[in-house]
Amino acid sequence: MNNIFFVLFVFNLHSQSENKLEIYNKLINELRCLVCQNQSIAESNAPFAVDIKNIIKEKINNGESESQIKNFLVDRYSDFILYDPPINVETIFLWFAPFIILIFLVLRVFFSKK
């Protein structure tokens, strides 16, 4: 039943605009379903994922931009809802630790050769 509704509504979006559909598909694949973690909103049929899909649909049809919709969800569900974590104080170590370790190892190899 959910699937029929989903297909109908994708067709509806499709007829309205290619661009809206693209934003929709991009967003639902980039967002995490909080109740069925390790699945994106697109992959999940959990009630939460269906709600979020409906909100995204509504907001796209109201002309809101991709970043506005993301901010709306992050304000309520934290960065955890994004599969691509933003660079901020909490994640800076996550982003740059590999480079720091790499530099350390390069220096280590370089100095041990002399």
Partner 1 sequence: MLKKINFLFIPLLLFCFFCIILYRGLFNDPKVVSSPLLGKQVPNISYPVLNQAIGEINIKDIDGPYLINIFASWCLPCVEELPVLINEKNKKRVKIIGVNYKDDPVNANNWLATYGNPYDVVLFDKDGMKSIDLGVYGVPETFFIDTNKIIKDKKIGVLDAKFVSDNL
Interacting residues with partner 1 (CB under 8 A): 34-35, 37, 47-48, 51, 54-55, 74-78, 80
Nearest approach, Cβ of 16 to partner 1 (angstroms)?
22
Sign of the alpha-carbon dihedral angle for 69, 87, 81, 53: positive
Number of helices (H), then strands (E), in the chain:
5, 0
Choice between 10 and 72, CB closer to partner 1:
72
Looking from the CA of 45 toward its CB, the CA atoms found within 13 Å total 7
Nearest approach, Cβ of 76 to partner 1 (angstroms)?
4
What is the Cα–Cα distance from 1 to 7, expressed in whole angstroms?
A: 10
Nearest approach, Cβ of 40 to partner 1 (angstroms)?
15
Choice between 22 and 90, CB closer to partner 1:
90
